[in-house]
Amino acid sequence: MTEYIVNDILIGNIRPYLKKIWQADCTGGTNGDVLVIRVTDEKVNPKYLYQVLADDKFFAFNMKHAKGAKMPRGSKTAIMQYKIPIPPLPEQEKITAILDKFDTLTHSVSEGLPHEIALRRKQYEYYREQLLAFR
């Protein structure tokens, strides 16, 4: 069993095309079919690394090096060779803040969808008033 801790990044290694990735918010254990990536360099923000690895480009790279037809497995060796741009920490934090907000707005049913509905309702009311103000 492989231990993971808060902020570790877990990547499903079987069928990489499923794009299974999670940033741990607790501690626990997993099996060998899940890769556990832990940031050990203080110049790398774990949330930034998660965003880089959650990108389609990473999963395309992972699939390119996967072995097997029916249930392909990502290559741990190839994954360790994946080039990750490392800007200064303030830039990483800025990128992460923007992407986290975008992710929340697009994927959160409880936050993103009601916000979008409220914006559309205001837009509808504005245009309705404009169209009906022909007097």
Could you report the per-residue pLDDT of 17-32, keeping only the tens digit for each?
Answer: 888 999 999 999 999 8
Q: What's the predicted TM-score (pTM) here? A: 0.75
Pairing mode, if any, of strands 2-4 and 28-30?
Answer: antiparallel
Structural domain boundaries in the chain: 2-86
Could you report the per-residue pLDDT of 55-81, keeping only the tens digit for each?
Answer: 989 999 988 888 888 888 888 888 899
The backbone torsions φ and ψ at residue 2, rounded to the nearest 5 degrees and listed phi first, read -110, 130
Determine the straight-line distance between the first and last CA of the chain, rounded to whole angstroms: 74
The residue among 105 and 56 whose pLDDT is bigger is 56
Hey, is 9 helix, strand or coil?
Answer: strand
